[in-house]
Structure 1
Amino acid sequence: MSLKQQASQGAEVNEKLAALMTNSNAVRAIASAVEGTLGPKGLDTMLVDKFGEVVITNDGVTILTMMEANHPAARMVINIAKSQQDEIGDGTTTATVMAGALVSSGVDQVAKGVPVARVIEGVRTGVRRALEVMKQQAIPLEDISHPWLKQVALVAGREHQDIADLVVEAARLIGKEKLVERNFKLSDTIISEEGASNQVFMGVIINKETMNKQMPRQLRNVKVLVIDDALEPEVIGDEALSTESGFARYLELQSEFRSNVQKMIDLGVGLVLVDRGVDDTAEEILTDAGIMVVQRVLNKELCRAAEHTGARVIKRTSLKKSIADLEKYLGNAGEVLMDERLEQVWILEGTGKPMATVLVGAATEEVVGERERIAKDAASSVQAAIKGGVVPGGGSLELAVSREVEKARENTRGMVAYGISCVAETLRRPMAQIVANAGFNPLEKLGDVLAAQAEQEKISLGIDCDTGDIVDMVEMGVMDPALVKIHALKAAGEIAEAILRIDTIIKMKDYKPAGEGFGQEA
């Protein structure tokens, strides 16, 4: 082969690697933005917008979603973090750091001459084996009062004792049956208010005031009506109103509406929650009757209130039903009160499903926002632990699993083994970053822990971030939900494969949807 042919072939290879290198650098930049927050010694990040507004946080998904990221590969990683947040509610930083490590390691192998297809095959094999081992090591929590649950909350809650206590108490109040439901999220029970006192109670909070100050501030043994609609009469168009029959129909609807509102009074309803607006006439009638009315309630809060009180949500057309039929749609609460300082309505002691609320307070707006994020992470981790069990934390499990993946590599022939090595290297990354953030040499400490785990046959050995000594994570109470670890690795594997498969980056031209701009007169 001539020098000219070699140069041409080299240029072609470099061109193919350019897309991988560009994407890898973008992913690495995203991982670098959050890796400093990992572990008990992780630091905070300050986000500043163009107006000078500041957010200071240690929460990975908050950093990723609020930071400016224009590169397509970077946005792919951010989407993976959002997926982790939506599915599990915690572990976004771990997922991002592992994704960055896996992509970087895979690109390094390709640059050395390993075919991309073999690297991807190896990554799949390694991730599959790692997930098998992680699932085997998960320790189920049969008892919702298990002390490990508190430790999970403390680790996810960044050692905030008061938040961990609140979250665990809320989980116990709600019960395991509710916590394992797929559509229920314990983190949704967390709310924060500047100047509020920390507390957890059985009930729900509506973040709205009653319609006017003349309505009651507090009621006992309350019947609750929930309307997923506007509390207004049916509307007649202006054209119809201009006719005699149309005006007659208007008067009929107004009379019918007043009759429907009167039914609420006859039923003894004390609280009416409305999804949309409330007609002035209805407001006046209900106020005179001493009924609390809250309009434009968020749908999520509306549903939680209905579930907790046992009410069945209705539309306004259902108000035409008889009083006997409407009675079946009512819920009940032991107490309803209006907190004027916080501008909230509290619904307590509902007779429906158990529903706890965690109220987190702080002195300033900036701090209360971060405390809410911490509490939501703790709540998500507690729920994940109840669903899928716990594993040793501090990166110890991942390190132990990396040894099992290395064994799989030894039994694999061909270049696929290089892809498996990428996974083993990635699994060592969480502990390496935690140790580095604590101020120790990660190479030294990882080597010590690997040797100790093999010698003592204990996967729970890790590093004490205060002393740098090798300790048992379980004995120290450093526990993580198994589902957080499993989903983080799975997400990292998916994003790595997607990035590695991108061979070329082409900018799309601007275009209009088919048919647009054609056949129109100038």
Structure 2
Amino acid sequence: MSSLGGQPIFILKEGSQRTRGRDAQGANISAAKAVASAVRTTLGPKGMDKMLVDTIGDVVITNDGVTILKEMDIEHPAAKMMVEIAKTQDDEVGDGTTTAVVVAGELLKRAEDLLEQDVHPTVIAHGYRMAADKAQEILKDIAIDVKPTEVEMLRKIADTAMTGKGAEAAKEKLTDLVVKAITMVADADGTVDTDFVKVEKKVGGSIEASEIIEGMIVDKERVHPAMPRKVENARILLLNAAVEFKKTEVDAEISITSPDQLQMFLDEEERMIRGIVDKVVASNANVLFCQKGIDDIAQHYLAKAGIFAVRRVKKSDMEKLARATGASVVSSIDAIAPEELGKAGVVEEKKVSGEEMIFVTECENPKAVSIIIRGGTEHVVDELDRAIEDALRVVSVAVEDKKFVAGGGAPEIELSLRLRDYAASVGGRAQLAIEAFANALEIIPRTLAENAGLDPIDMLVALRAAHEKGGKNARFMGLNVFEGKADDMLKAGVVEPLRVKTQAVASAAEAAVMILRIDDVIAASKMGGGGGPSPEEMAAMGGMGGMGGMPGMM
């Protein structure tokens, strides 16, 4: 609203709300900090889980940062930006989502102190950017090389990603599965596409019953009971065309005036389908995976020919089958030829937890594999699935980048010390922001200590002393939460891919800078004239506009 000669002029629609200056910054920072504090207790091997109940009563129990933030019904615009950090971290690396959010929250908290000392937001933003760039350099400097053949180190990386994610009981078994799967699907040039590792969840049995299949599992059953349940020395045809009679492309009517004509029409339909089946049989295939439908008559003829057939297989499964068996996906019935077929030692239909599944195993060089996860309840299996997905992603990132750093807060302490030295060399007001950035990074070891029930100040002092002492292994000194002391994380096997840290620091800094630079929040009125709570009210509520059905979570 403005005024001209005492007459008010309304610029914004009625019901719109505007918050400016320090109020806007305060509200946004409070909301972002509230999101960070919501996931903070889940960090580390001693982190706790969250139970999330949605509006229809579905329950998710997890300590995976990105899952918590996705499930929470967050409304505040600044809080949504924190959720974006977690999503980006998850897409890029698969792990470290909680770290990224917690660091971003702490950066904003430190910035708030500087704002109160009348340091301008743009000065803080500039200092944070300089610190983030320097942090990337330092991280690359303290990283260690790892070869894709160093299976033991890859297992430790998978182990660290799974720690505290409900997979403790069978961690060794699961890390074996993950590393084996990634090394099998890795291409010669070192790239890894985790999409070629199919993870199937089945409730029932124990976690120990989880296994890797060197080939593919398809969650389907054969189309006809007369077909063989097991085919050895399988010659596999992958067909992306319907084994049915062709329908006309345009609307057409066939006029039949006598029973003879009807019988001829039906006979011709059957002859067409017989012709398709004959082409499949002629190719010498004994297993057929069809992406589209298989007609009832075709099922009968295929069963008579002793061919194991599956219909309506998902496109993603067809691609994985092609990679695992060496077959080509044929898109036309006329293109079926023996050279298009793939091979597998055994194709078998088995019952898993009361459901039929098809196992394609003993492939010569499977470039697509499957992992079956078993567990006592649905919630256990879902959390195991999230842990395995994280582990698969971090191992693939380590194989691609060939670099890793120690875990347990060691890189953050090293960054913090080196950034303080850097701040002294920069001088000026930016020095304050770089020092704030350095202090903010210590939130990770501090949180690890708090979540493990240790004294955070004692632990921080011990860690700083261990790093300042210098020496070859000083940069690997992190927090051993089980024994409550500073320890060599490399020896303890607590290691993470370099990209987990570089991405977390970069995302956290970018989000903090973006939120800091906002000095005016103009919120349109809600549909239906509800008006909705103001940004200040939202901040007062903990920044969680509407956390559907989760009272008292903060």
The reply to whether TM is greater than 0.5 is yes
282 and 17 in structure 1: CA distance in 2 versus 1, 3 angstrom threshold: farther
5+ residue gaps, structure 1: 1-13, 512-522
Residues in 2 aligned to 1:358 and 1:269: alpha-carbon distance in whole angstroms: 27
| Cα distance between partner residues in 2 of 1:249 and 1:401 | 79
Q: Name 2:230's counterpart in structure 1.
A: 218
Matched ranges for 1:63-462 at <5 A: 63-158=68-163, 159=168, 160-175=171-186, 177=188, 180-181=190-191, 184-185=193-194, 188-196=197-205, 197-236=209-248, 239-242=251-254, 255-315=271-331, 318-321=332-335, 326-341=337-352, 342-351=355-364, 353-388=366-401, 389-457=403-471, 458-462=474-478
Counterpart CA distance in 1 for 2:375 and 2:239 is 34
Cα displacement (A) at 1:345: 0.9
Moved more, 267-276 or 403-412: 267-276
- Cα shift at 1:72: 1.8
The 3-state SS of whatever aligns with 2:74 is coil
Q: 1:343 to 1:409 in 2, by over 3 A?
A: same
Distance 1:233 1:413, change over 3 A: farther
In structure 1, the partner of 2:60 is 55
Q: CA deviation at 1:23?
A: 1.8
Deviation at 1:434, TM superposition (A): 0.6
State the SS of the aligned residue for 1:337.
strand
Q: Deviations over 1:476-499 (max 9, x none)?
A: 111111111111111112212222
> Match of 1:4?
none
Residue identity (%): 33
Conserved 8 A contact 1:223-1:331: yes
CA distance in 1 between counterparts of 2:483 and 2:391 reads: 25
Instruction: Assess if the C-alpha contact under 8 Å between 2:142 and 2:475 holds in 1.
Output: no
8 Å Cα contact 1:171-1:186 kept in structure 2 = no
Q: Residues of 2 paired with 1:250 and 1:497: CA distance?
A: 71
| Paired position in structure 2 for 1:478 | 494
Deviates more, 1:138-147 or 1:217-226: 138-147
Q: CA RMSD in A?
A: 2.6
Task: Provide the C-alpha distance between the structure 1 equivalents of 2:159 and 2:295, rounded to a whole number of angstroms.
Answer: 48
In 1, the alpha carbon distance for the partners of 2:29 and 2:223 equals: 55
Residue range with higher mean Cα deviation, 341-350 or 235-244:
235-244
Does the C-alpha gap of structure 1 residues 80 and 230 become closer, same or farther in structure 2, counting only changes over 3 Å? farther
Residue of structure 2 aligned with 1:466, choices 482, 485, 501: 482
Partner of 1:516: none
- TM-score scaled by length of structure 2: 0.82
Task: State the 1:253 CA deviation.
Answer: 7.8
Pairwise CA distance, 1:124: 0.9
Kept after mapping to 2: 8 A contact 1:402/1:424: yes
Task: Measure, in 2, the Cα distance between the counterparts of 1:356 and 1:292.
Answer: 21
CA shift, 1:237, in A, is 6.1
Distance of 1:351 and 1:256 partners within structure 2: 36
Quote the Cα distance in structure 1 between the aligned partners of 2:399 and 2:375.
28
Distance 1:28 1:188, change over 3 A: farther
The alpha carbon displacement at 1:258 in A equals 3.9
Q: Which has the higher helix share?
A: 1
1:429-459 CA deviation, whole Å, 9 max, x = no partner?
1111111101112122112211221113411
Change (3 A) 1:352 1:154: closer
TM-score when normalising by structure 1: 0.87
Counterpart amino acid of residue 162 in structure 1? K
Kindly indicate whether the alpha-carbon contact (under 8 Å) linking 1:30 and 1:74 is maintained by their aligned counterparts in 2. Answer: yes
Residue correspondence of structure 1 range 6-45 to structure 2 within 5 A: 15-45=20-50
How many pairs were matched up? 490
Which sections of structure 2, spanning at least 5 residues, go unmatched? Answer: 1-18, 257-261, 528-554
